[in-house]
Amino acid sequence: MTDTTEAGPTGRSAARRKEPPPAPATGTPGPPPAPRGTRLWRGVTPWLFLIAPLALLLTFTYAPIANMVAYSFTDWDGVSPELHYTGAGNYTELLTRPELFEVFFVSGYYLAASALQIVAALYFATILSFNVRFRNFFKGVLFFPYLINGVAIGFVFLYFFQDGGTLDSVLSLFGVHTDHAWLGTPTSANISLAGVSVWRYMGLNFVLFLGAIQSVPGELYEAAELDGANRWHQFRYIIAPGIKPVLSLSVILSISGSLSVFEIPYIMTGGATGTETFVIQTVKLAFQFNKTGLASAAAVVLLLIVLAATWVQRRLVPDDRVDLV
């Protein structure tokens, strides 16, 4: 019964976890094996809990995916009541048209931006987990962009990058007068858009890291300081191992996010001037040129690429935990 009082929502339960390996299946060691009926019941119980979530998941996510895979084998235009099966024709077309894959270069910008984003999030999470003045204010400010409506952000930044807009006005305050069209060339536009993406999503990474860092028990820091470790050492040996799962999740989400970027460039430039991403291209194929079959094939290919990237990442940086969470 002492367990109950010591554990609970204080978060300092690292020590608690050191108790004998948590019973892998509740009830197996200890009391004599339960009668067969109960064991069957126990085997079924987890599934009972999972019925609702899995049903929703399968119905609203996987069924459409299956449908989409089915469409990718047709030449459907997205609305006509008739369609014809074309076998793997769409996939062949995808592979023989290099320009359809060139758009992945644009994702490179977002990938680089996410790397920066994670580093920045880690940096801010680290400094804000120690004592800094106005800590809560800064925490709030950094997280807030994540909560803002996507289209509103698009407008805010269109205004920001306009000729004579916010960015130009601010720069002129510092005496820098550029004639640069921020969204004017592919390179500049992609960098600007990737910047907007960082602005928007860093808050989430930040809070995730902050939570993980703050869960590391305080005694460890004190002990380390007594041993003469400075901030950097503390980061490397205490914080870093503790946030591995969160970091892993963040990296996976970043990679998949960069490959499937859609909202920000679509709202701000519609994909013009070299800012077209793979998903924008897919949407255009489906809705402007009525090639829903081809677009579905493209979406399937994208999904496979994202899965492959995730798998590679898990191989390169294995977690000692079985699940990534």
Restricting to residues 15-74, name those near another protein by CB under 8 A: 16-17, 19, 22-27, 30, 42-43, 45-50, 52-54, 56-57, 59-71
Cα 13 to Cα 29: distance, rounded to the nearest angstrom = 23
Is 77 among the residues that bind another protein (CB under 8 A)? yes
Is 256 among the residues that bind another protein (CB under 8 A)? yes
Is 94 among the residues that bind another protein (CB under 8 A)? no
Cα 153 to Cα 264: distance, rounded to the nearest angstrom = 8
Determine the interface stretch with another protein among 86-94, 108-116, 221-229, 247-255 (rule: CB under 8 A). 247-255
Is 253 among the residues that bind another protein (CB under 8 A)? yes
| Burial environment of residue 134 by CB neighbours within 10 A (0 to 12, 13 to 18, 19 or more) | exposed
Nearer to another protein, 71 or 110 (CB): 71
What's the distance, Cα to Cα, between the start and end of the chain in Å?
A: 29
Cα 162 to Cα 182: distance, rounded to the nearest angstrom = 8
194-213 binders of another protein (CB under 8 A): 199, 207-208, 210-212
Smallest separation, CB 247 to another protein (Å): 11
Return the residue of 258, 260, 264, 293 that touches another protein, per CB under 8 A.
260
Q: Are 71 and 300 in contact (CB under 8 A)?
A: no
Is 273 among the residues that bind another protein (CB under 8 A)? yes
* CA nearest neighbour of 154 among 145, 144, 163, 143: 145
Return the residue of 95, 119, 127, 312 that touches another protein, per CB under 8 A.
127
282-301 binders of another protein (CB under 8 A): 282-292, 295-296, 298-299
Give the residue carrying structure tokens 């993980």: 212
Smallest separation, CB 226 to another protein (Å): 18
Smallest separation, CB 227 to another protein (Å): 19
Is 234 among the residues that bind another protein (CB under 8 A)? no
Give the bridge partners for 85, in sequence order.
Answer: 74
174's torsion region: left (phi>0), alpha (psi -120 to 50) or beta? alpha
One symbol per residue from 132 to 171: x for binding another protein (CB under 8 A), - otherwise; what is it?
xx--x-xxxxxxxx-xxxxxx--xxxxxxxxxxxx--xx-
Q: Write out the DSSP string of 81-121.
A: S---B-TTHHHHHHHH-THHHHTHHHHHHHHHHHHHHHHHH
How many residues make contact with another protein (CB under 8 A)?
146
